[in-house]
Amino acid sequence: MTFQRDRTFWAIALQAAAVNFYLGGFGPAQPLLRADQHTSLAIGGLHGTALGVAAILAGYASPRLVHAYGRVRTSWIGLSAFVFGVTMFVFSPPVPLTLTATLIAGFGTSVVINTMITRLSAHHAVDSARAVSQGIGIGSFGYILGTLAVGTLAGTTLSWRLGLMIVVPFTIALFVVSKNVGEGVHVPDESGRQRGKLNFSFWIAWLGFVTSISSEFATTFWAAALLRDRVGSSAAISTVCIVSLGLGLALGRVFGSRVLVRIALDNQLKLVILLQLIGFMTFWFSHILWLSIAALFATGLGLAMQFGLISYRMIVFSDGRPDLAIGTSSFGAGIAIGGAPFMLGLLGDHFGISRAYMMVPVLIGLTILTIYIVPTFKKVSAK
């Protein structure tokens, strides 16, 4: 069966683009937010912690929402929370309110991402790994646009936060156009939501997911700060430069599955993690702006497919319980998103952002180790 990007695929991918627009603007804008609020790296990192707590809450809620309302309606519930949180963030300057807004928007974001993985896996069963990777890839173009919107406004007299508001009318229009695309009438499973013990292999794969997401968010959250520290660029220019990371993420997710389609799942992961390591180490040691931008692009390419492939590994090890697997992965994402940026910010306050980044190569090494401990021996479909 040939992989088809039908209406359902595009509805799911554009939902991912909406939440990625927010993440693309939010992460690289941390120096701007800290300047507005006059906070330290550690306090700024609490916004990452709020995203992490939100992901944990979404991990608890997602399987229950899916059981009660189905995956399609659950995705729109998530987007409703997301829109409310983004609007609150834009118009609420104080730290306590931006933290609360981040928590709400982050909850909606995680619910949308959780349902995206399971919806694409179910809808494109034969080519699920490829569908997930490309769906996330299309969503990554939202990440780029979010970074550009915030970075562009940062260089003007307008508030950079207004750039995030662009996603609100887009999400409303998407709902109007595609609210009925997807599954039919949902009938809750009489046996209840997916539950039960997950095996040892799943938890090792889950650990790899945690370390992978940790390295991604530690990089994206504070890369602009390191760029300013190393090359002396302004906050606005540093934020726009992070577009190269988002571009690498987008291109890697859209085209990576095509390039590596005939390579075994685990070998794909090893290759992209190696690319991430090379890109990151180059960025870490660079004091030249153009080289740093190129290194961020390579890092983005390396990170691009990891989320989709490791999520698919967890589904493989879930004994036929994808909603439970992805819901559980959200707990891991919460630990990663909440812990890594805050820890890096805390270390940055004490040792400088450059030395603090030493934690990222360690996380990358742990990710690749989990693949060797529990291999899948699965081939990604070439169809």
pLDDT at site 172: 92
pLDDT tens-digit series, residues 308-333: 888 888 888 888 787 788 778 878 88
Residue type at position 288: I
Whether 205 shows a pLDDT value over 90: the answer reads: yes
Gap between the Cα atoms of 370 and 383, Å rounded: 28
pLDDT at site 379: 39
Residues near 352 by beta carbon (within 8 Å), at least 6 away in sequence: 229
pLDDT tens-digit series, residues 110-135: 899 888 878 887 777 666 667 777 78
Q: Which of 170-174, 175-179, 225-229, 371-375 has the lowest mean pLDDT?
A: 225-229
Task: Name the nearest CA neighbour of 366 among 243, 213, 240.
Answer: 213
Residue type at position 209: F
Q: What is the mean pLDDT of residues 93-118?
A: 89
Task: Name the nearest CA neighbour of 108 among 146, 77, 153, 152.
Answer: 77
Q: What is the mean pLDDT of residues 25-44?
A: 76
The DSSP secondary structure of 145-181, one letter per residue, reads HHHHHHHHHHTSSS-GGGGGGGHHHHHHHHHHHHTT-
CATH class of 7-183+193-373: mainly alpha
Q: What is the mean pLDDT of residues 206-218?
A: 90
Task: State the pLDDT confidence band at 1, using cuts at 50, 70 and 90.
Answer: very low
What mean pLDDT, rounded, does the chain reach? 82
pTM of structure: 0.73
pLDDT at site 381: 41
Residue type at position 329: S
Report the chain's terminal Cα–Cα distance, integer Å: 6
pLDDT tens-digit series, residues 135-151: 877 888 888 888 788 87
pLDDT at site 182: 63
Averaging pLDDT over each range in 23-37, 62-76, 91-105, 348-362, which range is the top one? Answer: 91-105
